[in-house]
Structure 1
């Protein structure tokens, strides 16, 4: 943290605050988002007064808005600020996360989504009840809710810091105001309002990044200057084939490890699945997945390239070292203030883009949490089905309550900085357990409910031990990751005056790869990108062992609707089984829905 004098000096050097045009751009984004919610609540032909309309958009959504909403759901303000900071600090190896996108999209579209779509379910965790039992379903739902309740405050807090960087307005004022708008349109308009505001916000997000990228390239002198300055600092590193799993980022951890991270985020995550299931046909759902991959490829690449631009601009005067910004995550908004002097409205557009990513993540999370709470906790526990009006009203109340809790948690995040690391660790813990449990059900017909429960819990415990132990060692200084070199040789005396010593030499940090660790167990030095993969294999391995120990299923006895099409084709059914599963009305979903409504069965 900067002391008061340092903060005042930094503010003086970066005091290019919002103009009236900037506030108009930012306010316009919030206004249009609110109007979309009002439209779908009061003026649209189909009002959001049924559970099908509120949670699934009546299964009548188009490819374009759902695709934009999927992109917005995946890209948060954390990514928009964090990716440039990663390139600036550690180099370009992480950029290669775009490579596993094609494989993830193919796997998602052909192995996972067809199962959810054929079962005609609302919550992805309903599948766990159908394939295993109600306790496994509750476990999965509870993990998801906890994860989202920790994730939503983070995605709001990070762009609030960016807003503070370019405006000087305290985040205590901006955070509640912005969140109230998000809660307002999500509560009123349901999934359709969320999807269409996501579409608006995705367009703003893309437009903001493109403008900053173009102006930034011109600011530093062109593409050649950008890549030459980054090459001179050894930042251009794309294919590090070091097999050592303790190296923070290699081609193996970024591609193989991140494949499982993305697969967990996209294929079984309620926020993603709910949007795919809102499509009228499975074919259109697969098209949206393809567009999702292309959209993520584009926005990730542009964000990473922006990080190279920022380094090229500050190659001889690092703002983090000179304390012009307190940490690398604020380097992008600081850069925007430097190039915005001749572009009215650019800071407003930039902050609108970052907050658009945050709002889309928040609204998607609130809508998804509502669906999970209603479908997995409320609906199975009531003896008599509620009326559509009563259920719709309850879900709107849940959105408002959960949204308010998340706003309060934003201030808890601010006061307890360490919770950010804990929450990020929790993401890996829950992702591996959930993807492993779903995969156990879809790809291993021998697995039973005891195996699913044991596998999911074991996965969480193991990855929690690794992840939280690693964070503890990082906090104590026993583990550190070498950064790329930085310099302040070109800083002015005014910039250097922030520090006590105005004659700072060139600062060069060891650019070597790997982990610097002393007396730390090997397991805590593993790259964090492998956490989800470890969790997946643990859940599957333990799940199969327990299943066979407690009486594994016969593959032919498992309803083929619960298995991935990839596996289903290899199971041979006799005539009686084929009649049971595939002939006439016996294959309809009435038995499935009965099991969901009466979980004790």
Structure 2
């Protein structure tokens, strides 16, 4: 990314010229404070949506938890999160700069309109070929960097999912504990199967629009449900497994319904999101035909407009950043409703260790004041001696 930025800045005439071109093209949109939930990318949609997504990725996801628990101390896990945050912000900053460079390069000759590329996701490879194609070996270095980072992420994710699937599903059907070799072989087979599924889904994903919206939309189905069920267990100690699972299933089904409806409308061309103004006035004559002008964009306002043919239900026009939030809210609504109807957990019979520390003083105080001698339960504290023998303390 640094190589691309340095060469791009030199090619574009310096930072001042890049800033001027992007400003004139209405690309420097820092904060869009539009509260409209149907606006695609605003301060509010991204703030709420990304916050829940990062809670899912860092606070709950097995790939993060496995790394945290591999560290010797809690303080080390906190340091890892801080370093991760710094690194992520640097990568995001580099991505923004590359975006500015892309527009500075193609502001008067849109490669999508002239059919040099067929998808917006292809513009970065085109840009690399355009500005650095003459440097021998550089394209190979950049491609290998992209492939290595992608494979590293995929490898970690597949290993995490493989271990989770094996522990939660396969191991429970075994009458005896498998050896380490058998477990390793089983997880490798799971990785291969999952890898084949991921590769086959490429042909589906390429028809679902831009990669950013596709990734956020698809992951919101599971992320919203998982954030709900963990949060529900933390903040609602009176919740039951029936209520929690009911909310989980409802969350997945409801968000999937919205996702399928929206993606179908996008694939059929009934729901579109025109981009900001583009031009082909600076293209060479052999690239410009009369029909090319039909593919340029003319919008100069804030954000991105949502255009439909009038047949798309309003719920499908909702910003994709809200899918994960909806998943959490639907889960809580259904979970609480089910528990209210069918009965809640009796807190007097609940082990205090199962209650979040932040809630214990409120819940346990209620236990103490509402319980009587016939329902009181004495909990035994266990202190571990140095010789590994247990000593009971009243």
Q: Name the TM-score, length of structure 1 as normaliser.
A: 0.57
Match of 2:240 in 1: 448
1:509 is aligned to 298
Change (3 A) 1:364 1:563: farther
Does the Cα contact within 8 Å between 1:258 and 1:530 map onto a contact in 2?
no
Change (3 A) 1:503 1:557: closer
Q: Does 1:384 align with 2:176?
A: yes
1:526 pairs with 318, 322, 335, which one? 318
- CA deviations over 1:303-333 (Å, ceiling 9, x no partner): 1220111100111111111111111101001
Classify the secondary structure of the residue corresponding to 1:485.
coil
Pair 229,266 (structure 1): closer, same or farther in 2 beyond 3 Å? same
- Give, in angstroms, the shift of residue 295 of structure 1: 1.4
Change in Cα spacing, 1:469 to 1:507, as seen in structure 2 (3 Å) is closer
The residue matched to 2:90 in structure 1 has which SS?
helix
How large is the RMSD of aligned CA atoms in angstroms?
2.7
Counterparts of 2:349 and 2:299, CA distance in 1? 59
Contact 1:446 1:544 in 2 (8 A): no
Deviates more, 1:395-404 or 1:268-277: 395-404
Inter-CA distance 411–507: structure 2 relative to 1 (3 Å threshold): closer
CA distance in 2, matches of 1:473, 1:399: 33
Whether 1:579 aligns to 2:379 is yes
State the partner residue of 2:221: 429
Task: Please say which of residues 236-245 and 504-513 is displaced more in the overlay.
Answer: 504-513
Which residue number corresponds to residue 138 of structure 2? 346
Alignment map for 1:40-439 (pairs within 5 Å): 209-407=1-199, 409=200, 412-413=203-204, 417-418=207-208, 425-439=217-231
Give the CA deviation at 1:473: 2.2
- 1:227 Cα deviation after fit: 1.5
Alignment correspondent of 2:387: none
Whole-angstrom distance in 1 between the partners of 2:324 and 2:161: 22
Q: Matches of 2:185 and 2:83 in 1, distance apart? A: 34
CA distance in 2, matches of 1:449, 1:383: 26
Sort the Cα spacing of 1:276 and 1:563 in 2 relative to 1 into closer, same or farther, 3 A: farther
Q: Deviations over 1:440-496 (max 9, x none)?
A: 112211111001110001111111122211222223333222311111111112443
Greater mean deviation of Cα atoms: 450-459 or 430-439: 430-439
Q: Does 1:461 align with 2:250?
A: no
Q: Cα–Cα, structure 1 residues 561 and 351, in superposed 2: closer, same or farther, change >3 Å? A: farther
For residues 59-97 of structure 1, give each alpha carbon's deviation from its aligned partner in whole angstroms, at most 9, with x where no partner exists. Answer: xxxxxxxxxxxxxxxxxxxxxxxxxxxxxxxxxxxxxxx
- 1:322–1:224: structure 2 CA closer, same or farther, 3 Å change rule? same
CA 1:445/1:238 → structure 2, altered by over 3 Å: closer, same or farther? same
What is the aligned partner in structure 1 of residue 390 from structure 2?
none
Aligned residues: 371
Unaligned runs of 5+ in 2: 369-375, 385-394
Unpaired runs of 5+ in structure 1?
1-208, 586-601
Deviation at 1:531, TM superposition (A): 0.4
Deviation at 1:335, TM superposition (A): 0.5
Residues 328/422 of structure 1: CA separation in 2 closer, same or farther (3 Å cut):
closer
Q: Deviations over 1:145-168 (max 9, x none)?
A: xxxxxxxxxxxxxxxxxxxxxxxx
CA offset at residue 214 of structure 1? Answer: 1.7
Distance 1:285 1:478, change over 3 A: same
